[in-house]
Amino acid sequence: MRTFFLHSPFDEASLYELNIGDRVFLSGKVLTARDAAHMRFAAEITDGRSRPELVGATIYYCGPCPGTTGSPILSAGPTTSGRMDPYTAMLLGYGVRAVIGKGPRSREVYQALRENRAVYLVATGGAGALLAESILSSRVLAYPDLGPEAVLELVVRDMPLIVGTDLHGGVIYNSL
């Protein structure tokens, strides 16, 4: 197991060295999006409407809890990634380079990750307060009417993650 310090947004070269099980400390911009936001992304793509820029983006399956004085986010734990599986291939096709969540994905998502040269990074469930410590700032980027499921742009520093899938076809969840 190796350790990498990466910066988002990504290009393929920055992801090529990663292997499943490697530790990643992620810095840079990360978008949050859960179920409702994914449905909106899909509707906008299907209808040809505008959407947040996705080329090179990292999407974190998270609905963070707003912070208090001195802290932009109180808790930012991952949600179960499988709920986003129906939308993942479409978003990867629009340039998303990494997704962050927890739990295994469908075979179709693993295939789409390989085809689109993207990675799945795994965040530790139940560690929302710890993950929030790496968030430097937060702003609503899209869909404010969704409340806690609005798309946020987070600026993070050294967010601790594990490589769940790599560009070489490796999948950490060996049951699939």
Distances (CA, A) of 13 to 6, 99, 117, 142, 162: 11, 17, 10, 29, 18
CATH code given to domain 3-165: 3.20.130.10
DSSP state of 17: T
3-state secondary structure of 99: strand
Asked whether the CA dihedral 5, 160, 85, 73 is positive or negative, the reply is: negative
Average pLDDT, the chain: 92
pLDDT digits (tens, 9 = 90+) for 126-164: 888 999 999 999 999 999 999 989 999 999 999 999 999
pLDDT digits (tens, 9 = 90+) for 84-121: 999 999 999 989 999 999 999 999 999 999 999 999 99
- Indicate the residue type of 150: A
Task: Residue 19: count other Cβ atoms within 10 Å of its Cβ.
Answer: 14
Phi, psi dihedral angles at 53 (to 5 degrees): -60, 125
Closest C-alpha to 38, from 82, 80, 79, 88: 88
With a CB cutoff of 8 Å and minimum separation 6, the contacts of 128 are 64, 65, 75, 76, 77
Q: Which residues form the catalytic set?
A: 38
pLDDT digits (tens, 9 = 90+) for 45-81: 888 887 778 888 999 999 888 877 778 888 999 999 9
Give the pair of three-digit tokens for residue 40: 């909106």
